[in-house]
Chain A
Amino acid sequence: MQQGYLLASAGLPVVHLRFSAQPLRSFSMTQTLTQRLANPTRFMELSASVLPWVAGAAALVIGYGLYLSFFVAPPDYLQGETARIMFIHVPCAWLSMAVYAIIAMSSFGLLVFRHPLADVSAKAAVPLGAAFTFLALVTGSLWGRPTWGTYWVWDARLTSVLILFFLYLGLMALRSSIEDEALASKLTAILALVGIVMLPIIKFSVNFGNTLHQPASVIRAGGPTIDTALLVPLLVMAVGFTLMFVAMHLKAMRNEIMRRRVKALQLAEVERAQASQLAAAE
């Protein structure tokens, strides 16, 4: 058990020392969930039991949501059938921002608390966030053609989402171009935090012009302006997409932890081989 744990936290020596000083099972009741999850082995156990349920729930909710969107929801009185793009577009757009918030929180957790899973979480979330942002852009563009008469306009909402997409690409590019993995994750975390400071400014600055995109119509003061017949499928799809993101995020985090374990095992093997070579030479 101890051996497995050592391998799990390879690459994060500070944390590894702090946690290996105490026995594995001696967590007190005062520890919060995030503290308990700081142990990758515990995270692997917990996520293995949670993941199938989340993935199943996501499939069920998205299936129900798709049924609602295609067969139950009436066509919009103005836009007709094309309004159904909304049921994909809005959940993707919502996740594109929510995932960035998760990345920023994880980055903060890495830089300030040195939480060992924070980096795994941030690294796993970036490609997912980029994918949802890309889907939001593509579906929005396809929706814009029949309703606005153009695939793209340089208006506030579209431009700021496009910039968000570039921020995601920057996070991936920076991480992949630094060889030292621990250093790469910390520098990427700094960039993510700089990005979260810039996002409201970018959003505000592009709002300086006029916008063609409709204003917020679900979460706004005075209640939603969207009809219940369309709102219910939309909310079901939003919940389904969020569950799907959680499932994919957990899976990606598990993959990342396993990748690190494999790397640690390979390193240990190389070291053992070198040691035996040295011993043979003597």
Chain B
Amino acid sequence: MSAFLALLSRDLRLAVRQGGALGTALGFYMLVVTLLPLGLGADLNLLSRIAPGVLWIALLLAALLSLGRVFSSDYEDGTLDVLATGRLPMELVVGAKALAHWISTGIPLALMAPVLGLLLNLELSAYPLLFGTMLAGTPAISFIGAVGAALTLRAYRGGLLIALLVLPLYVPTLIFGMAAINGLLGASGTMSAFLILIALSLASVVLCPLAAAAALRLQMQ
């Protein structure tokens, strides 16, 4: 457990001090959301209707940007070899790194979403819902993304490849994220989609480290 926490805090410190990753993701998120009204036209009614979807999709893309770095920098400088020979099982190494990615990227992006909602004329009552569903859905994004990052560790053009491999796997998260907002916003206020979204996140937290660790072990040999 202490090794897990040590790795987690190391990755978080690196994310904060190394700079670049978080700022880039947030800047990308802002820019995508800024560009969309320019492309779609500045009709405020239209924008407020599509705002949750736009914010979710832009969040997926922004999180994707930083996924390539989850393992590759550690692989290049040999840290991953040290971790592989250490006491901590590879599954937990993956878990710590994906968790660090969620804390350092997923949560800031979710925090940013309501601010960007202002630009899109999102109604004020939707803000807590948007933030809540993103907080519930982003763990799935980080952990499923970790599988993609592990699979493409030694691939050419890893960054582009991750998008191709991982975006189809994000479909359930996106659909239930949107369904959760619509369900909670609707007159009936149903929780079912929100609960399924949480289930998706929890299941990916458990299952994805297994696949990612298997992929990493193959490449460490």
Measured CB to CB, the residues of A under 8 A from B are 111, 159, 163, 166-167, 169-170, 173-174, 177-180, 183, 186-187, 190-191, 193-195, 197-198, 201-202, 204-206, 208
Contacts and interface: CB of A to CB of B under 8 A. Distances in A.
Given A167-B168, A202-B171, A191 B157 contact: no
B194 to A, nearest CB: 13
Contacts of B116: none
Given A186-B218, A191-B165, A202 B151 contact: no
A174 B151 contact: yes
B214 to A, nearest CB: 6
B172 interface: yes
A103 to B, nearest CB: 15
Contact of A170 (B154, B165, B214, B218): B165
Given A178-B156, A198-B169, 12 more contacts: A159-B171, A163-B171, A166-B167, A166-B168, A180-B154, A190-B214, A190-B215, A194-B169, A194-B211, A197-B207, A208-B179, A208-B193
Given A177-B156, A190-B151, A205 B171 contact: yes
B69 to A, nearest CB: 18
Main secondary structure of the interface of B (DSSP, over half): helix
B34 interface: no
Interface string B180-221: 000000000000010000001000000100010011001100
Interface string B148-181: 0001101111100100110111011001100100
Contacts of A166: 164, 167-168
Contacts of B151: 174, 187, 190-191
Contact of A202 (B157, B172, B193): B172
Contacts of A167: 168
A190 B158 CA distance: 17
A170 B164 contact: yes
A169 B169 CA distance: 13
Interface of B: 147, 151-152, 154-158, 161, 164-165, 167-169, 171-172, 175-176, 179, 193, 200, 207, 211, 214-215, 218-219
A171 to B, nearest CB: 9
Q: Give me the 10 closest cross-chain CB pairs, A-B, nearest first.
A: A205-B172, A177-B155, A166-B168, A170-B165, A205-B175, A201-B172, A177-B156, A163-B168, A186-B218, A178-B155
A211 to B, nearest CB: 14
Contacts of A169: 164
B172 A183 contact: no
Contact of A173 (B165, B200, B207, B215): B165
Contacts of B168: 163, 166-167, 170, 198, 202
A265 B156 CA distance: 27
B43 to A, nearest CB: 22
A201 B199 CA distance: 11
A174 B171 contact: no
A190 B151 CA distance: 8
Contacts of B176: 205, 208
A194 B147 contact: yes
Contact of B161 (A111, A174, A183, A186): A174
B165 A198 contact: no
Contacts of A173: 161, 164-165
Contacts of B215: 187, 190
A62 B93 CA distance: 53
A222 to B, nearest CB: 29
A163 B171 CA distance: 8
